Chains A and B, each alone.
Chain A
């Protein structure tokens, strides 16, 4: 009986070790993703350093599913720059080009008017009611770089949540079942 008991104990201990190991691996993956994201926020100065283009308003420059890299620096906004802004009462930020800039001499506060390259009219209609200009606090960043197509992954995952769950499930299964 002693022999069997020993074996059972050893199996049990192996399982616990393995389980702990897997938990740590999983934790490492999650935390390193978080570290990378937060580091990007620090380096770029933008709360959302990477955004996916969802609309056709900036075609042909940016198409649906493209990824944009944003930066937010102290440098003043100038006409022609592609800025990302959010409007009070609107959840999804908009990526459009600044076409008019008026910068105050004393306070350096700016009035910016934007327009999507693919739109016929400027964005006043998109702004909050009675709002004629964007100010500094509306602007979350400016686009500095660009990667095509990669954003489709997130678009598909948000539009077809089932695919997201399948993917997460499969990845989780892989992590749990893999033995180095």
Chain B
């Protein structure tokens, strides 16, 4: 009943239960943080706009992204994954999401930033629908916890449009 093995087992079980409980509470505590992120994106330039040889439209553009995501950090936050996606509708597709830029923010101090970049991933349509296309730029973020549940949200910025002609 009170052998070494029995006690070691009881201790281990209790330690693991306590650890699991602490992890669960840490994850749960994320729900109570006050979040007021803000973001603004401008299109500085359309660098290139053409039809590819096999028929899909491709755009290259330069973005000016500024955002303040510091309020998303809590004590259980390991990192923030942020990306900007162009989102639009075409006759064929009810939703197109094309990621243009992304970044990993490991630290709260770095979560307030302003950056001017051209698109990191190619902005290619499935077809030739981009001339004069209206689209949204959406800043998405995925919060990676130290442990527990991951969560995500976004800010949708509507009202961007592409030129009417290739250039």
Contacts from A to B (Cβ < 8 Å) = 60-61, 76, 78-82, 97, 99-105, 108, 111, 117, 122, 143-148, 174
A-B contact pairs, 27 of them (CB 8 A): A60-B104, A61-B79, A61-B104, A79-B83, A79-B98, A80-B99, A80-B142, A81-B152, A97-B81, A99-B83, A99-B99, A102-B97, A102-B126, A103-B94, A103-B95, A104-B92, A105-B89, A105-B92, A105-B93, A117-B104, A122-B121, A144-B150, A145-B148, A145-B150, A146-B144, A146-B145, A147-B23
A102-B99 contact in complex given A60-B79, A60-B106, A80-B85, C-beta closer than 8 Å: no
A102-B93 contact in complex given A79-B83, A79-B99, C-beta closer than 8 Å: yes
Q: Could you tell me the distance between the alpha carbons of A148 and B26 in the complex, rounded to whole angstroms?
A: 13
Contact with A105, one of B91, B98, B148 (Cβ below 8 angstroms): B91
Size band of the interface chain B makes with A: 20 to 34
In the A-B complex, the 6 residue pairs with the smallest Cβ-Cβ separation, listed nearest first, are A105-B94, A79-B97, A99-B99, A101-B97, A103-B95, A80-B140
A-B contact count (CB 8 A): 80
Residues of A within 8 A of B152 (CB): 80-81
Residues of B within 8 A of A80 (CB): 81, 83, 85, 99, 140, 142, 152
Q: Could you tell me the distance between the alpha carbons of A122 and B102 in the complex, rounded to whole angstroms?
A: 13
Determine the residue in chain B with the shortest Cβ distance to A108: B94
Q: Are A60 and B93 touching (Cβ within 8 A)?
A: no
Given contacts A79-B97, A102-B93, A103-B94, 5 further A-B contacts (CB under 8 A): A80-B140, A82-B150, A97-B81, A104-B92, A148-B147
Contact with A along B64-86 (1 / 0, CB 8 A): 00000000000000110101010
Residues of B within 8 A of A79 (CB): 83, 85, 97-99, 140
Residues of B within 8 A of A144 (CB): 149-150
Determine the residue in chain B with the shortest Cβ distance to A147: B147
Contacts from B to A (Cβ < 8 Å) = 5, 23, 27, 78-79, 81, 83, 85, 89, 91-99, 102, 104, 106, 121, 126, 140, 142, 144-150, 152
**B161 → A minimal CB distance (Å):** 20
Q: Could you tell me the distance between the alpha carbons of A174 and B12 in the complex, rounded to whole angstroms?
A: 16
Q: Could you tell me the distance between the alpha carbons of A104 and B104 in the complex, rounded to whole angstroms?
A: 30
A104-B94 contact in complex given A61-B81, A117-B81, C-beta closer than 8 Å: yes
Determine the residue in chain B with the shortest Cβ distance to A111: B126
Contact with A143, one of B97, B99, B150 (Cβ below 8 angstroms): B150
**B106 → A minimal CB distance (Å):** 7
Residues of B within 8 A of A174 (CB): 5
Residues of B within 8 A of A82 (CB): 142, 150
**A108 → B minimal CB distance (Å):** 8
Residues of B within 8 A of A78 (CB): 97
Residues of A within 8 A of B96 (CB): 101-103
**B123 → A minimal CB distance (Å):** 10
